[in-house]
Structure formats: structure tokens, C-alpha cells
Amino acid sequence: MAVAEDLEVSRFLREQPKKLFIGGRWIESASGKTFDTLDPSSGEVLAKVAEAGAEDIDRAVAAARRSFESGVWRDLPPAERAKVLWRIGDLIEERALEFAQLDSLDNGMPINDALLFYVPLAAATFRYYAGWVTKLDGATQQVSLPGRYLSYTLRQPVGVVGQIIPWNFPIVMAAWKLAPALACGNSVVLKPAEETPLSALLLAELMQQAEVPDGVANVVPGPGETAGARLASHPDVDKIAFTGSTQVGKLIAKASADSNLKRVSLELGGKSPNIVFADADLTQAVSGAFFGMFLNQGQVCSAGSRLFVQSKVYDRTLEELVKTVEETRLGPGIDPVNQMGPVVSKAQMDRVLGYIAVGNQEGARVIAGGGRAKELGPGYFVQPTVFADVDGKMRIAQEEIFGPVVAAIPFEDEDDLIEKANSTIYGLAAGVWTTNVKRAHRVAHALRAGTVFVNCYHIVDPVTPWGGFKQSGWGRELGPQALDLYTELKNVILDIS
Ligand code: NDP
């Protein structure tokens, strides 16, 4: 284990292997198996982690079910539940440096991004949903039938919730899932991604410290094909919330249909258009094109990976973008001088390099990057890459690469643009850069995307509903909309005549 001893997080990492958190206890997996989680900047083992299999998922679901039926959490006075959630937010903030170091080491992300944006967003998400606990109100209905009736609605927790998350923003993904589910009184089994299980385990420690009752929040790292699949098809799980690829999202929906028709919400992939009109402030638009694409090494579901630029300013915009890319400092994320880190794994690096080869074969032109940053050693570093003169039908313009590769596509006018921008199977996000306010709204209305950023990109807050059109998913997380995902609406009708 090659982690520097002077990091704040070394104490947490010292205890090996990391165990599963089930029913309020830290336990080995039933099989005794562990897996290695790697530091992608070196390829070395960062930690050994107990590997949950189907039997462990069954144990975690049983613990969640017991806690749910006992009422220990769902029947707690709302203000008490709210205090616990608020306290989790506080504890995340107190341990912010450790979370940032863990996600930087495990995922590869720049430590400053983790510390300044992602960890605070995770804390803010718990606090935001702490505020909702006391406001899960129903309504009354005016019944027009003969006689007198009192009709009202209640919001009740769905029950046992399974949650499966990806590796790209580990602590943020865990918070987006756990906070609203717990706020609504559910009991949860969370399966983090195998590549990045560590910050969710630290979060489990803090949830226990904040006095989330035993069995209410269980954290079980393990492979998707076994642990994840068991959770998705488990007959005693009432709802599954999944974030990941569209391909696996379809398996989750099928597993629900083939088992107990558990409720399903899906936050899936994207191939988002980031659109620069000739009337945009080009300095802002170029930095938005860079940030929209290369944040977190492009491993962002909403990455602006199709950069549409109006022909009149196409050459100038790309020239400026290439300059910015070339000035970017690539290196291990844990070193605060670096602005971009490695991609998360060798498999991810091979996938991204494979797509760069596809782009070359398809006849697109590399104008920046275009390969592995070999000078940085054995870590999984891919140069930020810009393809120019991309045709919208090429695979690099249609398929989600999930790495630092942007496809620049010229367009002539608004009509031409809208058709091109909407022509993928995805509909997660989009960006529009223009100084014309009418155009901004017109285009925002016409784009088939769950979120449209105008003259900004990647602005995400606990209040902003998040999710996609088309094959980018089902449902909306964050905002009050997430409460719909984690509650059942019950109608009670009394004859009061
Ligand atoms: P995957 O779909 O491969 O994996 C996501 C999660 O699903 C992981 O925990 C994985 O486990 C698990 N999983 C894999 N196979 C199965 C299965 N058969 N049954 C149940 N669970 C399974 O996605 P990635 O981790 O590669 O993440 C990248 C994808 O996530 C991209 O497509 C990206 O766009 C999307 N994403 C979407 C977001 C959104 O908000 N819309 C946000 C972030 C990412 P394991 O990896 O441990 O095997």
C-alpha cells in the first residue's frame, strides 16, 4: 500500500481489509473474499476491501427490512430524523480533507476539485434533505360524490431501497442517493462501484456516529454482476435507484420486471451538446467548452462531449480551446498543482484510447492530445483530446466515451443545430453560449435534455432536479422531485356523514 503516511486519511486506510457495513456492524464477506481497489495514478493497490456477494446482499437486505419494519427510523419524530441528517452533513464537512483525499486517490480526481466542490456538495445534499424531513406533507381533496367524505394524502416511505452507484463522483453519488432516501424514512442498502468503494465506507462510519439506527443504512461494496445484480433482482427490495451506464440501466429495469416490479429510477449516460453561437462571449464560451468537457477527466455523465460551434467562429474557438488544453497540467490528482488526473482504471483508459482510434479511422482530425500521456509513468493518464471536423453520425459523436475526448462539430444556423444536437439516443444535459436572450430561451426549449445550462456549465446544486430525457434515464434526483422517488403516496378517504 503506497499511500503517504502523512495524509489525513492514512489512519482510515490503515485498517485492512475494509469490511462490509451491515446491520450496524463491520463484518467480513460471507465468502471471505476481498478485492483490491487501485490508485489510478500509479496502478498500485490502495486498499483491500471485503467483497460482497449475493449472500451478503441478502444479509444487508434482511437487516434493512428488520430496521424498516421495527419503525426505528421511519417512525422517529421528523425533527429528530432531520437532526441526524444535518449531523451527517456536519461530519462530512469536519472530515472534508479525508473524503477529498480518499476520492482523489481512489478515483484519480484533482484534490482541489474534490475539496472545493464535491465534498461540500455531498454535505449540502444531506443538509438540504434534512430540511425536507419536516415538510413531507400530503394534501386534502374535495370529493363531489353524495354524502360527506374527508379525503387526504400521506407520503410514506417506499420501504427497503437498493442503491447502485458509479465511480465518477463517489462521495457525491453516495450523498445524492442516501440523503433523500433516508429523509423519507426508508432503510437502504448502498452498493458503491468496485473501483471507488472507500469514501462510501467512511461515510458509513459517520452515519453510525450521527446515530442512524443499526440496519437503516448498509454499505456493501462488491461486483456489479453479482452483488449489484442480486440487489436489483431481490424480491424483498421495494425500490432500486441506479446511476450508471444506459446498458446496465436496462438490465436493472429488466431485473425489476422479472422479480417483484420494484420501483426503479435511473440516472444514465449522456452525449451532451455544448453549443457556441457566433454571438457568444467567446472567452467565456471557450472556458465553458473546456470545463464542460474536461472536468473530472471527462468522466461526467453530463460532459459537453459534442461541441457544436457556429461556422463563423469555428476556427477561432477551436484555436483558443487547443491553447487552453495545452496549458493544462496533467498528473496525480492528489498533488494540488495538477488540474487533471488519470482516468479511473486501465479498462477505462483502454476504452478511451479505443475511441480515439475509432475517431482517427472515421476521418476526424485530432488537433490536441490524441493518446496516452506516457511520460507520466504507469498511471492511467490520457491526454485531453480534441477532434475537429467531426460528422454527427460518427461513432465518436454518437457513443458515450466517458473520458477526456471532445468531438467538435460545425453548424450553420439554429434550425440546422437543433436537429443535430437532438440526434443521439441520450438527453441528459446541454449547454448554450449566446448573448441573445431570445435565442437562449428558444434553443433551451427545443433541446431534448433534462438540464440546459445557458452561459454556464456543470452548475449542480441540491435544489436543481437532475435526470434525463430519452435513454438518459427515468425520474429526477435532487430537488423536491427526489422525494417522489422515495415515497409512496397514500390516499385515505373517510365517510364523515
Ligand atoms: P456501470 O453501469 O458499468 O456501473 C454502474 C454501477 O452498476 C456500478 O456500481 C457497477 O458495479 C454496477 N453494475 C454493473 N453491472 C451490473 C449489473 N449487471 N447489475 C447491477 N449492477 C451492476 O457504469 P460505470 O460505473 O462505468 O459509470 C459510468 C456510467 O455512469 C456512464 O455511462 C455515465 O454517464 C453514468 N453516470 C450517470 C450519471 C447521471 O446522473 N445520469 C452520473 C454519473 C455517471 P461495479 O462497477 O462495481 O462492477
Encode pLDDT of 416-455 as tens digits.
Answer: 999 999 999 999 999 999 999 999 999 999 999 999 999 9
Q: What is the C-alpha to C-alpha distance for residues 164 and 243, in angstroms, rounded to an integer?
A: 6
Residue type, 351: R
Centre of ligand 1 to C-alpha 244, Å, is: 3
Supply the residue whose CA is at minimum distance from atom 31 of ligand 1: 245
Ligand 1 pocket member 380 (CB < 6 A): no
Phi, psi dihedral angles at 143 (to 5 degrees): -85, 135
pTM given for the model: 0.98
Shortest CA distance to 74 belongs to which of 237, 189, 216, 240? 216
pLDDT digits (tens, 9 = 90+) for 10-54: 999 998 899 999 999 999 999 999 999 999 999 999 999 999 999
- Ligand 1 atom closest to residue 248's alpha carbon, by position in its atom list: 2
Positions marked catalytic: 267, 301
Ligand 1 pocket member 428 (CB < 6 A): yes
Ligand 1 pocket member 224 (CB < 6 A): yes
Bond into 110 cis (ω within 30):
no
Q: Are 119 and 30 in contact (CB under 8 A)?
A: no
Q: Are 449 and 469 in contact (CB under 8 A)?
A: yes
Residue type, 215: G
pLDDT for residue 365: 98
Residue of 118, 164, 262, 464 to test ligand 1 pocket, by largest number of atoms within 8 Å of CB: 164
1 has pLDDT over 80: no
- Ligand 1 atom closest to residue 267's alpha carbon, by position in its atom list: 41
Residue of 301, 352, 478 to test ligand 1 pocket, by largest number of atoms within 8 Å of CB: 301
Centre of ligand 1 to C-alpha 324, Å, is: 30
Ligand 1 pocket member 194 (CB < 6 A): yes
Judged on CB neighbours under 10 Å (0-12, 13-18, 19+), 329 is exposed
Residue where the block lists cell 462531449: 305
Centre of ligand 1 to C-alpha 319, Å, is: 35
Residue of 243, 256, 306, 466 to test ligand 1 pocket, by largest number of atoms within 8 Å of CB: 243
274 has pLDDT over 90: yes
Centre of ligand 1 to C-alpha 201, Å, is: 18
pLDDT for residue 6: 81
Q: What is the C-alpha to C-alpha distance for residues 66 and 59, in angstroms, rounded to an integer?
A: 11
User: Do the strands 34-39 and 44-50 form a parallel or antiparallel pair, or are they unpaired?
Assistant: antiparallel
Ligand 1 pocket member 240 (CB < 6 A): no
pLDDT digits (tens, 9 = 90+) for 88-108: 999 999 999 999 999 999 999
User: What does the mean pLDDT of the chain come to?
Assistant: 97
